């Protein structure tokens, strides 16, 4: 008998994130192709929030967040990889109309 699907409830200040940007090649603003094997020191990545704990205050489901790849735990759920982090380890939240943001847009 197969296992039934389980709903995941994040605890405390934990956030579950699905990475949006892959680890593949990318292009610079000048159009130069940077291969996936190029070493980049301390590069932050974007992800989408897919679950939040009851004590999370600043992010919600569906938000796009900036995080450091070194501060993460990875878990696989039904064949998809997700990251589990504390809310305080997130660096930024992308919003459509920032009230007190940097003035930069994605």
Dihedral sign, Cα of residue 60, residue 63, residue 66, residue 71 = positive
CATH code for the domain in which residue 88 is found:
2.30.33.40
Strands annotated E in the chain: 14-19, 26-27, 33-34, 45-52, 64-67, 73-77, 80-86, 90-94
Structurally, the chain folds into a number of domains equal to 1
Q: Is residue 5 part of a domain?
A: no
Q: Which of 78, 80, 69, 68 is nearest to 18 (CA)?
A: 80
Q: How confident is the model at residue 1 (pLDDT cuts 50, 70, 90)?
A: very low
Q: How far is residue 106's CA from residue 95's CA, in Å, rounded to a whole number?
A: 9
Domain around 74: 11-20+43-96
Tens digit of pLDDT for each residue in 38-70? 666 667 888 899 888 889 888 888 889 988 877
Q: Is residue 6 part of a domain?
A: no
């Amino acid at each position: 008998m197969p296992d039934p699907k389980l709903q995941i409830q994040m605890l405390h200040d934990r956030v579950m994130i699905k990475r949006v940007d892959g680890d593949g090649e990318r292009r610079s603003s000048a159009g130069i192709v940077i291969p996936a094997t190029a070493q980049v020191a301390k590069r932050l990545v974007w992800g989408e929030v897919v679950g939040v704990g009851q004590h999370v205050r600043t992010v919600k489901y569906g938000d796009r967040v900036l995080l450091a790849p070194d501060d993460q735990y990875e878990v696989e759920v039904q064949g998809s990889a997700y990251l589990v982090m504390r809310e305080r380890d997130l660096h930024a939240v992308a919003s459509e109309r920032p009230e007190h943001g940097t003035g930069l847009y994605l």
